[in-house]
Amino acid sequence: MTAADAVSTAPSRPAIAAKGPNLTIVLAVVLTAVLQVLDSTIVNVALPQIQAAFGVTSDQVVWTLTSYIVASVVVMPLTGLFVRRFGRRRLITAAITGFAAFSALCGVSTSLEMIVAFRIGQGLFGAFLIPLSQAILFDSFPREKRGQAMAMFGLGVVVAPVIGPTAGALLTEYFSWRAVFYVNVPIAAFALIMVSGELKKEDTKAVRVDWAGLILMGVAIGALQLLLDLGQTRDWFDSHMIQIAAVTVAVAGVAFVLRGLGRRDNIIDFTLFRDRSFAAANVAIMGFGVAMYGAMAVLPIFVQNLLGYPILESGYLFIPRGFAAALSMIVTGSVLMNRLDPRLVLAAGLALTGIGNVMLGRLDLAAGFADLAWPGVVSGLGMGMFFVPMSTLAFQNIGPDRQDEASGIYNVTRSIGSSIGISLVSWQADSRAQFHWSVLSGHITSYDTAARAYLAPLGLDPQSIHGAAMLGAQVRAQATMMAFQDAFWLTGLAAFAMLPVVLILQRPPRAAATP
């Protein structure tokens, strides 16, 4: 669809009055964003309880996460299409209502099949929440105040997944795994009341749907998510299922792009990527997703399985990170964006995120709570300094009539980046543990001086059964520790690798950076 077509089918009047930002709307859309993002991490810590409740395997219970992610990522790029057809007010109220209803149904599920089906429903409705929230905020703030808007939005989008594991741990520990779904209902109800009373109705027009393009896009994105989510557990390309998924991604993806490049009614408006800032921002947000979500995904596994932290204490590790991210976003949106080139702030955010992840990669088996928390504080500061200017720079040249579609594409890229990060870092931790085990065990023999010195205070000998078992356990622990170090270093390098992309971004007009 061309820009002219988008304008002709755009709503005839804005969803928010032009006189200034409505704080009720701001709070409502931030809450709706929190709903979607929080649900992507809050369920993780409840998986063992869900697995035990339904008597399923670990491979089966992961569909509780995969079904939600696949459904949301497939539907998210269609935000602009649905807005033109139904209007923002109708779409966001339907999305909040549907998300809350399916959340409640997840809580009453009595089988894995039921919860997977209801999680798909959650994903289908929840997919619209973040793009709509972002577009509404952009329209409610003038250009010079968009840094503040993105700071408010970022408090939900970035802080929510940070506190998700903590909230999930508390709800699961003191109530039940069902509570991680029920908690969505009152939040959704509060947001729905505010949105319904403030957003104005819009004029809409019929939009022709390119069903062939829609199917190709859905198949490509869905297959990519399946490949990323199940690749590690199925030993990647040794699995026929993963091989089929990879071929499907390649064929459907190439067909979708080639077919849609010259079409006026394509599902995705590829002309958006002619804007170098928007194109570069999509690359940067994908790399940042690898850095942020990759590190956050393996940190609970690291502290629980290797360091022996209980579930609640591992959840508490994310609180300092969350506070640092919230503080950073407030300062960035209200101070730094008004005084500095946003690209410099963005580069500093990437650097701090990378430094925090590298600090995790320098820990050892003797790491205490403070040793684990401080890297999170550094990364949290970087998250705020990255997210606020990144969102502002990405959409600086996108007109109001294309905000919804651009937001949908941008958030799909972020979601795919997070999926790549989780899969890549988890695979790295697993494969490198085997590598380090082979290297370390190859240097230990029953006659090794260091091995004998280690066992001597315990009254054991390397040639005894107990002595050999003790050495084996120590080697496994050290190999696993070194594998996690490699994984954290990888997430740090992913953040640093995005620094050259900053040079591609355009500097916004002076009015956007001056109060």
The pLDDT value recorded for residue 363 is 87
Look at residue 462 in the predicted model and tell me its pLDDT. Answer: 60
Q: Give strand ranges (E) for 47-113.
A: none
pLDDT for the residue 198: 65
Identity of residue 109 = S
CA atoms of 48 and 492, how far apart (whole Å):
29
DSSP code for 200: P
Question: What residues contact residue 344 under an 8 Å CB cut-off, 6+ apart?
Answer: none
Alpha-carbon separation of residue 155 from 27, 184, 213, 451 (angstroms): 11, 17, 35, 51
Single-letter amino acid code for the residue at 287: G
pTM of structure: 0.73
pLDDT of residue 374: 92
pLDDT at res. 203: 63
pLDDT in tens, 78-115: 787 788 778 888 888 899 999 999 999 998 988 888 98
Q: How far is CA 373 from CA 140, 304, 356, 363, in A?
A: 36, 14, 10, 11
Selection from 288, 297, 295, 231 nearest residue 417 by Cα = 288
- Residue 336, pLDDT score: 85
Can you give the pLDDT at residue 377?
A: 92
The whole-number pLDDT of residue 247 equals 92
Residues of the chain with pLDDT under 50: 1-20, 511-515
Q: Which pLDDT value is given to residue 511?
A: 44
